[in-house]
Homo-oligomer: A and B are copies of this chain.
Amino acid sequence: MIRRIPQARERGIPDATVARLPLYLRALNGLAERGTATVSSEDLALAAGVNSAKLRKDLSHLGSYGTRGVGYDVQYLIYQISRELGLTQDWAVAIVGVGNLGRALANYGGFVSRGFRVAGLLDADPAVVGDHIAGLTVEHSDGLEAVIRKRGVSIVVIATPATAAQQVCDRVIAAGVTSILNFAPVVLTVPDGVDVRKVDLSIELQILAFHEQRKVSGGPMMAEDWAGEAG
């Protein structure tokens, strides 16, 4: 029988924990900006919106970075989590598809601030190519492979229409990219070893609707005097 060796150190961090580390990091940065030097698991958990037992368990997967009876040193913990997430490195990101969403992403401050650098904006539409967005010039997606290779892009954000997503996906994988963030509402087919994360705006709304439906017995309020102004 093959038994998994529990790597107490830095290997084998649960997915659920990894997904929360950015949350803790953001809460810690907020504390740091307000000049807080140390924080207890209770307070940090509150700021991050989780419970303290979970927070301590999560952090314990990284190592013993707290001090019993005191709490965690904010700056030190920021560094440790950043290192664990790989944010002490500089990641070049290319955004493919410069529609409304692509523009929003390019201008999103959170990308640049944490180890990510938008190294390329690409679009297939000649009407968009040449636009200046967030200090970059939109390039034609014909040059996708060249941009990836020349600028060391390791993460690609797909913000194209659904119909183009798989094709873009195939091309960037062929160019060596193994990390993709997909905003197109389509399931991408990728070979083993390629990591795809998906953000689906409408799915979140649908989940909300499910819960909303359960709350209100009579369904949503009726829009009585809604006069559509479209058209």
Interface residues of A (CB under 8 A from B): 1-2, 5-8, 18-19, 21-23, 25-27, 47-49, 51, 83-93, 99-101, 103-105, 107-108, 110-111, 113-116, 119, 135-137, 150-152, 154-155, 157, 178-181, 185, 187, 193, 195, 197, 199-216, 219-227, 229-231
Contact = CB atoms under 8 A, between A and B. Distances in A.
B90 A224 contact: yes
Contact of A86 (B19, B210, B222): B210
28 contacts: A6-B214, A18-B210, A22-B206, A27-B187, A47-B187, A48-B187, A84-B210, A85-B206, A86-B209, A86-B210, A86-B213, A88-B225, A88-B227, A90-B223, A90-B224, A91-B205, A91-B212, A92-B221, A92-B226, A99-B107, A100-B108, A116-B209, A150-B224, A179-B208, A179-B211, A179-B215, A195-B212, A199-B204
**Interface of A, helix, strand, loop or mixed by DSSP:** mixed
Contacts of A154: 212, 216, 220-221
Contacts of A49: 2, 187
Nearest to A1: B51
A202 B22 contact: yes
Given A101-B104, A108-B201, A179-B209, 17 more contacts: A5-B211, A6-B214, A8-B214, A19-B203, A48-B187, A86-B209, A91-B205, A92-B220, A92-B222, A101-B101, A115-B209, A116-B202, A119-B226, A150-B225, A155-B212, A181-B204, A195-B212
User: Taking the full assembly, how many copies of this chain does it contain?
Assistant: 2
Nearest to A45: B1
A26 to B, nearest CB: 6
A87 B206 CA distance: 7
A133 B200 CA distance: 21
A11 to B, nearest CB: 9
Contact of A152 (B181, B212, B220): B220
